[in-house]
Amino acid sequence: MSRDKQRHLPLLPLGALAAGFGLGGVAAAQTPATAPTPAASASAAGDGKEAVLPTVKAKARAVRQGKDTVQATTTSIGKGTQELRDIPQSVTVVTERLIDDRNLDTLKEALHNTAGISFQAAEGGEEDIRLRGFSLNSTGDIFIDGIRDPAFYERDTFNDDRIEVMRGSASMLFGRGSTGGAVNQVNKQPLLFGRNEVDLTIGNGKYTRVTADMNLRTGENAALRVNAMKTEADNWGNFVDKEGLAATYALGIGTRDEFSVGLYTLDNHNGVNYGMPWLAPSAGATDRVLVPVDPRNYYAAASDYSDGGAKYGTLAHIHRFGQGSELKTVLRRANYDRDLRASAIRFCTRSNANPECPNATTDPVTLQNIGPNTILTRGNNVKIQELDTLNFQSDYSGRFHFGGLKHAVQAGVDYAHEEFVNFGASALPAAKPKTTLGAPNAGGGVDEAARLVTMNRTFDAKALGVYAQDLIQITPQWKLLAGLRWDRFEGDYNTPQIGTTAPTHRARKDALWSKRVGVLYQPDAFQSYHLSYGTSFNTSGDTYQYDLLGSNTPPEGSRNFELGGKLDLVDGNLSVRFALFHSVKTNERNRDADTVLQTPTAYLLSGQRHASGIELDLAGRITPAWEVFASYAFIPDAEIDKGSPPATDPNGIPVSLQGEQVGSRPGGTPRHSGTIWSTYRLGAWRFGGGLNARSADAPPLVSTFKAPAYVTGDLMAEYTFNDLTFKLNVTNVTNKLYADMLYRGHYIPGKPRTVQLTTSYRF
């Protein structure tokens, strides 16, 4: 998509295509021939006089394209394409302009540019996201064009037109999951206008990335869009080697019936940074600090890797009824694979239980005695998985008058079949070689190909959902939203005979309702205020497995209250969003003290947690030359309200219960988090700078220490000469060492200082 100046497109005759926005993710840029009105035809046929049509004056906003601005005015995350001002819930949009300005290659990097989000380190830094302190898991809360993208792999942004983050309970729209919110990646679609672009980026860490965005108009209302990517980097040992290709062909763009077929493939062969262990400042201390090394240091074995990716094909049809009504039907078949061989890095201390470190000190490693000769062990962490999915969904969007009121109705049905297979890998005869703190990227490894890989569990999931919501305009200033959804989730879990362990089979079926209501007050075209309530649920099978207790436990539930608004300033060129929220999970899965020492048949839904705070977003142009994007979240109140009380065995010895302590602040919920990015144009030059910040935050299930707060800074300078653009980015200018992703036993450092030069050619 080009960076040409915003253009005014002719107003399309279909209400659904008003102001030049294509529905269903496909932008229309050409006005089909308009048939004569019945009155005009009758006049011409009846009296032979020349028909004269009355003058019609229409006003529409200029089409804002993601490549041209950090401001978004519409979203497709709420089913169908809607004005952001008509959604009574917080939505943050990371546009293509922001992705390109800050060189955000992955979904994780892009989400760092939204507030209220934190990351759990998990196995190899997978996308285990926390939003408002609630988990967004990869199997339930990440979507591509509104269809669930339920797998563990590192998602790339090369085919993203924008990334949309909806905050708060959203099961009425998406079904299971969505306690903290949902993330929707919007793919680039064929256009009837625009320019092609090729980008080459080189940087330190032997980084090279080539992307191509090609749009070919093949007919009056047909076009082909192809996006390709290849990225390689040594990255100081944490190598990157990935490639992607996405192609979509659309026919009938902007007409009554629009068809599209798309293919997507992403293959990752990357290193995997399992992070560093937390370090005690002194012997016996309960606090923890970061290991004082360069953030570029990488201690994994040379044989470690993270392979995987996604392949999917999509068929879509949009039928436009006129008057702003349409029916969009989508069928997607997808395959995901993951093969991770990683090393959990730990300090090696000599003891009777760990005699393999003869040169290590017998004292615990602390900040007072750590040094270049401190020995590190490398664990054996293996994740091998495959997932096949089939998704079908059909969504109707319609506008009409009934009972003297204006209605904007959205209704639909969706079905998903997910087949998950997990594999185990045999141990190797020898442990991975150790290294020392002073020898990062020292190599060494094992023969991973010698492992025997066998299937150890399967999970077959079927989900059916039906929903409907109506946005009713009560008066010119007041609107009322009401929505209801019914879901049925069925999971079937199996493990084979493994040695002397008998096979298992566990299954359950769940059906329940989700609700969403909201009131909007819109005194004029530049102001919108809302008050809303929504619910969500999590089933026991969200992670594609049932343990003995979970297979007998009903879904968890949560609810979200929100008071907020959206203001358009500077003649609509600058958007401000704010929200006060209160989110609570009222029936979290739990074990209580009376049953923990026995063999219960189910968890108790007796846990409860909440989070309350305020969020602010700012996006757009303050002046024609000055553009800004900012996102900030303040969560002063977050607490575990109910949980497992302390338990003791028959001898009075305390028993440790899994879960966070009552009264504690949940991990992964920083009080302050935010980002700001601003650019200014001076002739052919454009300069930019920004900050990312997070206050101190504890890892999940930890109450004795916190990761320290941090602030990092980024800079950009760009020069455009005809069709060529040269852009220099410096990320984390001061090479700040900080804990970006958190876990109980370790953390993953944030991105070190990165210098990259991008050359773009548009034609």
390-427 residue pLDDT tens: 999 999 999 999 999 999 999 999 999 999 999 999 99
Instruction: Tell me the C-alpha distance between 108 and 127, whole Å.
Output: 7
Task: Report the helix count and the strand count for the chain, using DSSP H and E.
Answer: 4, 40
Instruction: Tell me the C-alpha distance between 374 and 347, whole Å.
Output: 8
Cβ partners under 8 Å of residue 556, min gap 6: 179, 537, 538, 585, 587, 588, 589, 605
pLDDT of the residue at 7 = 36
The 3-state secondary structure of 229-277, one letter per residue = EEEEECHHHCCEEEEEEEEEEEECCCCCEEEEEEEEEEEEEECCCCCEE
Calculate ∠ Cα 138-142-143, nearest 5°.
140
Region for 73 from its dihedrals, namely left if φ exceeds 0, alpha if ψ lies in -120 to 50, beta otherwise:
alpha
| Mean pLDDT over the full length of the chain | 86
Q: What is the mean pLDDT of residues 272-276?
A: 92
Task: For residue range 621-630, list pLDDT tens digits in order.
Answer: 999 999 999 9
**What is the token pair recorded at 181?**
């919110």
> How much is the pTM?
0.88
Task: For residue range 424-482, list pLDDT tens digits in order.
Answer: 999 988 889 999 999 999 888 999 999 999 999 999 999 999 999 999 999 999 999 99
Instruction: Tell me the C-alpha distance between 70 and 747, whole Å.
Output: 32
Estimate to the nearest angstrom the gap between the alpha carbon of 276 and the chain centroid: 25
Instruction: Tell me the C-alpha distance between 536 and 556, whole Å.
Output: 8
Specify the 3-state DSSP secondary structure of 122. coil
> Percentage of the chain surpassing pLDDT 90?
69
Task: For residue range 627-666, list pLDDT tens digits in order.
Answer: 999 999 999 999 988 876 555 555 655 544 456 778 889 9
**What is the token pair recorded at 453?**
């890989």
Estimate to the nearest angstrom the gap between the alpha carbon of 547 and the chain centroid: 27
Chosen CATH of 84-344+379-425+453-762 out of 3.30.420.40, 2.40.170.20, 3.20.20.210, 3.40.720.10: 2.40.170.20
The 3-state secondary structure of 123-189, one letter per residue = CCCCCEEEECCEEECCCCCEEECCEECCCCCCCECCCEEEEEEEECCCHHHHCCECCCEEEEEEECC
pLDDT at 517 over 80: yes
Instruction: Tell me the C-alpha distance between 211 and 230, whole Å.
Output: 7
pLDDT of the residue at 48 = 42
pLDDT at 20 over 50: no
Instruction: Tell me the C-alpha distance between 459 and 299, whole Å.
Output: 34
Specify the 3-state DSSP secondary structure of 558. strand
Q: What is the mean pLDDT of residues 117-125?
A: 78
Q: Report yes or no: 127 and 205 within 8 Å, Cβ to Cβ.
A: no
Neighbours of 646 (CB within 10 A): 11
**What is the token pair recorded at 278?**
């937390």
Q: How confident is the model at residue 120 (pLDDT cuts 50, 70, 90)?
A: confident
> Minimal CA–CA distance to 410: which of 24, 20, 21?
24
Place of tokens 């049905």: 413
Cβ partners under 8 Å of residue 300, min gap 6: 237, 238, 271, 272, 273, 274, 342, 343, 345, 378
β-bridge partners, 409: 398, 470
Looking at residue 129, its amino acid is I
CA-to-CA dists, residue 180 to 90, 383, 740, angstroms: 11, 26, 20
Cβ partners under 8 Å of residue 314, min gap 6: 145, 147, 248, 260, 261, 262, 263, 264, 330, 331, 332
Region for 636 from its dihedrals, namely left if φ exceeds 0, alpha if ψ lies in -120 to 50, beta otherwise:
alpha
**What is the token pair recorded at 753?**
């200082």
Calculate ∠ Cα 6-11-17, nearest 5°.
95
Instruction: Tell me the C-alpha distance between 737 and 734, whole Å.
Output: 9
Through-space distance between the first and last CA atoms of the chain, rounded to whole angstroms? 11
pLDDT at 122 over 80: no
Strand order, beta sheet including 147-148: 91-95, 160-167, 181-187, 142-144, 147-148
Q: Report yes or no: 72 and 83 within 8 Å, Cβ to Cβ.
A: no
